[in-house]
Structure 1
Amino acid sequence: MKDIIEQMKAELWEVFDHLHRHPEISWEEWQTTEFLRRELEREGYRVRTFADCPGVVAEIGAGPFTVGVRSDMDALWQEVNGVWQPNHACGHDAHMTIVLGVAKLLRRIGYEPPGTLRFLFQPAEEKGTGALKLIEKGAVDGVSFLYGVHLRPIQEVKGGYAAPAIIHGAAQCIEGRIRGVAAHAARPHLGVNVIEVGSAIVQELGKIHVDPQVPASIKMTKFHAGEKDANTIPDYAEFALDLRAQTNEAMERLVEGLRHVINGVAAIYGAEIELVERTRIVAAHPDPDAVRLMEEAIIAALGTEKCVPPVVTSGGEDFHFYSFQKPELKTTMLGLGCDLRPGLHHPNMTFRRDDLLSGVEILARTVINTFALQGENERVSVTANH
């Protein structure tokens, strides 16, 4: 398998360079969709796209047992060297290259899946809504195992190493609006100062407690109030909160605590405070069988010493909506080390490109291992029935 991947190297670099040079932000990945569609059809896959949203679903083989491999597609909107532009600073260009590489590799080695093999290229991961859209489209209907991949920063996994699971936490973005009462700054007792209300919210956030054994945080990340006049008590403010928790249960407690804080502060100051829940990401629950199959593939590709334990990270990923919405679906996500620095979402993020080849091999071996396991299970079942 390694020899075939090495022969594909130049082709994969062309794919990566194209995707890297043509980034598209969430829900606008139309050119990316078309590029992937052409590549997959060229390899003989049955391809499905959608009229109302970007994204690609490709299949080969037939049968009720279905294994899926998923990649995200979208880029970030960032200032890069003084210019605001779409930018692949989260590695989604690399993820697409790896997953498309798996699709190509399995065809080149003549692998015929004893079931259905499905590839998902998903839009809008950065918005936390793309996985839900593909679920709505039926993209994971009938899938038994679903695998993903994400490059890991060097602080988590070194280049040349890999983890069979990424334990992402839950994340929630909540926006808020405060309405007070305007007044002359010389007569503050006649108004309700929304800046003071916002300050009180920040102070009270620190009093929200969850299980200290579970990492969790809630913090204000944006606040705007007042305009040009410095002698006016402002009566309107907007703010944003970022909530993080390693478990979905801890996230529910954070949100519950936040509502108590908002109600209490509003009552004390006589202000109106409205919360609007935006992006929500659920925590990871990797399946033990999927993790074991991924681990076996890592060991086969890199060696036992290069397989590290599942990575626990405070970041979030909408990949985990697939198993959250469909609990019968067995999932895990490959954490691929590639000397990525200085970090994910840095506008000048870089990584060691050759490690993408390892990602192709690991995921391809995982797919083959998964179909082989199903075949063994079926043989055991038939023997037991006789």
Structure 2
Amino acid sequence: MIETKINEIFNHIHQNAELSNEEVKTTDYIYDFLKSEGFEPVKFKNITGLYCDMGNWSGDYPLIGMRADIDALYQEVNGRLQANHSCGHDSHISMVIGAMLKLKDHEALKTRGVRFVFQPAEELGTGALDVLKEGVIDPLDYMFGIHLRPIEEARDGFISPSIEHGSAGSFEFRISGHDAHGARPHLNSNAIEVGSAIVNMLSKIHINPMVPTSAKMTKFMAGSKSLNIIPGSAECGIDVRAQTNSAMKELKENIHNILRVVEELYDVKIENLEESSIVASESNEDAIAVFRSAIIDTVGEEHLLEPIVTSGGDDFHNYTVQYPNLKGAMLGLGCDLTPGLHHPDMTFNHERMQTGADVLYQTILNVPAK
């Protein structure tokens, strides 16, 4: 029974979580499971993860991608730091494989090709870009993804044909100066005061108020046990969010300007600057329409939601941003998920994994002919 196998896969992945770019055993498990079911999976050459093709790849029919992310988060669970699937990636793997099992030997495979992609490192925001370098997305016409949604966004059994994520990013850097004696504050720039100035300047960034944005210091480490030393250096991190890619570009330009001004104003150096970012969604209306029809065909129009707009991010959207002609969208599955995504004790209704697999299966069937 497919539902039994979905739960079997979920339990194994959940109990053997691995961090981004370290998903070696996860890759092996998926590969071995698919081989045992008669599929022909292929491991990526330069990264963890794999893909598996089904159907007709003659070039006369639509080529469909279906992505599952496979990495876990690193967080404290019951007092212990560990890899933990609190974002639902274990369920995404299970649902995508469930759709594969349901699709196996189906007549529809004569008129479409399907590539199932098991992508690493989504939590770092780099996995989709690495998959693009593998070349496996190049021939595709469509790219579909799925993600569990918290109960605040979608009640149990309700499904959205699109998740419109915002752009997310980060700055990590070092305020680099020299320490001074507590009695001689004129001899250095206090890194704590410099950090406070950065926090204050971040709050003064003004982007179009019609587009949600935020920039805030989320990491600051300075000083030591010796309280009579004025620290000259600090390790800092800034989290940035914007609902659109253009707003994110403007926000990051402002932050770069702030860091340059701080260097001159306080006579410190901003060193070891590292940036990361995940693009905002640029979903395709044709792909959304396919998802919408699949949801209606599977669970009925009464369980269909409008597209969900959320401030969270997902690197899935790199596929459509980097390949503008690729018709892509991500489905949002309501599953009674509480207390929230990334909470160490996140739980959801496991019965919805079968629902998700059914919708993904129907999605492939509903893709129109070329």
Pairwise TM-score range, normalised by the shorter structure? over 0.9
What SS class does the counterpart of residue 111 from structure 2 fall into? Answer: coil
Structure 1 residue 18: deviation in Å?
1.2
For the Cα contact (< 8 Å) 2:175–2:234, is it kept in 1? yes
Q: Distance in 2 between matches of 1:113 and 1:11?
A: 25
Partner of 1:150: 147
For the Cα contact (< 8 Å) 2:44–2:51, is it kept in 1? no
What SS class does the counterpart of residue 249 from structure 2 fall into? Answer: helix
Q: Distance in 2 between matches of 1:237 and 1:11?
A: 50
Partner of 1:40: 34
Alignment of 1:54-69 (within 5 A): 54-61=48-55, 62-64=57-59, 65-69=62-66
Structure 1 runs, 4 residues or longer, greater than 6 Å off: none
Structure 2 residue corresponding to 1:284, chosen from 253, 274, 281: 281
Partner of 2:331: 334
Partner of 1:27: 21
Partner of 2:130: 133
Alignment of 1:163-242 (within 5 A): 163-242=160-239
Structure 1 residue 192: deviation in Å?
1.5
For the Cα contact (< 8 Å) 2:6–2:353, is it kept in 1? no
Q: Which runs of 5+ in 2 are unaligned?
A: none
Structure 1 residue 141: deviation in Å?
1.5
Structure 1 residue corresponding to 2:99, chosen from 85, 98, 102: 102
Post-superposition CA distance 1:19-45 (Å, at most 9, x none): 111111111111111111122223333
What SS class does the counterpart of residue 34 from structure 1 fall into? Answer: helix
What SS class does the counterpart of residue 359 from structure 1 fall into? Answer: helix
Change in 2 beyond 3 A, CA 1:226/1:251: same
Change in 2 beyond 3 A, CA 1:22/1:108: farther
Post-superposition CA distance 1:283-310 (Å, at most 9, x none): 0011000000100000111111110000
For the Cα contact (< 8 Å) 1:63–1:114, is it kept in 2? no
Partner of 1:311: 308
Partner of 1:295: 292
Structure 1 residue 72: deviation in Å?
0.1
Partner of 1:8: 2
What SS class does the counterpart of residue 214 from structure 1 fall into? Answer: coil
Q: Distance in 2 between matches of 1:299 and 1:224?
A: 51
Change in 2 beyond 3 A, CA 1:275/1:307: farther
Q: Which runs of 5+ in 1 are unaligned?
A: 1-6, 378-386
Post-superposition CA distance 1:226-272 (Å, at most 9, x none): 12211111111110000000000000111111122122222222222
Q: Distance in 1 between matches of 2:134 and 2:25?
A: 20
Structure 1 residue 108: deviation in Å?
5.8
For the Cα contact (< 8 Å) 1:170–1:248, is it kept in 2? yes
What SS class does the counterpart of residue 172 from structure 2 fall into? Answer: strand
State yes or no: 1:71 paired with 2:68: yes
Q: Distance in 2 between matches of 1:8 and 1:109?
A: 15
Post-superposition CA distance 1:327-367 (Å, at most 9, x none): 11110001000000000011110000111111111111111
Post-superposition CA distance 1:129-181 (Å, at most 9, x none): 11111100012120000100000000100000000000000011111111223
AA of the residue aligned to 1:50: F
Structure 1 residue 97: deviation in Å?
0.2
AA of the residue aligned to 1:63: S
For the Cα contact (< 8 Å) 1:43–1:107, is it kept in 2? no
Structure 1 residue 209: deviation in Å?
0.8
Q: Which moved more, 1:169-178 or 1:111-120?
A: 111-120
* TM-score (normalised: structure 2): 0.96
Over the aligned positions, Cα root-mean-square deviation in angstroms equals 1.3
For the Cα contact (< 8 Å) 2:3–2:98, is it kept in 1? no
Change in 2 beyond 3 A, CA 1:181/1:215: same
Q: Distance in 1 between matches of 2:316 and 2:273?
A: 23
Structure 1 residue 225: deviation in Å?
0.9
Partner of 1:50: 44
AA of the residue aligned to 2:58: G
What SS class does the counterpart of residue 24 from structure 1 fall into? Answer: coil
Structure 2 residue corresponding to 1:251, chosen from 221, 224, 248: 248
Q: Distance in 1 between matches of 2:365 and 2:283?
A: 19
Partner of 1:380: none
Structure 1 residue 111: deviation in Å?
4.2
AA of the residue aligned to 2:38: G
* TM-score (normalised: structure 1): 0.92
Q: Distance in 1 between matches of 2:170 and 2:45?
A: 29
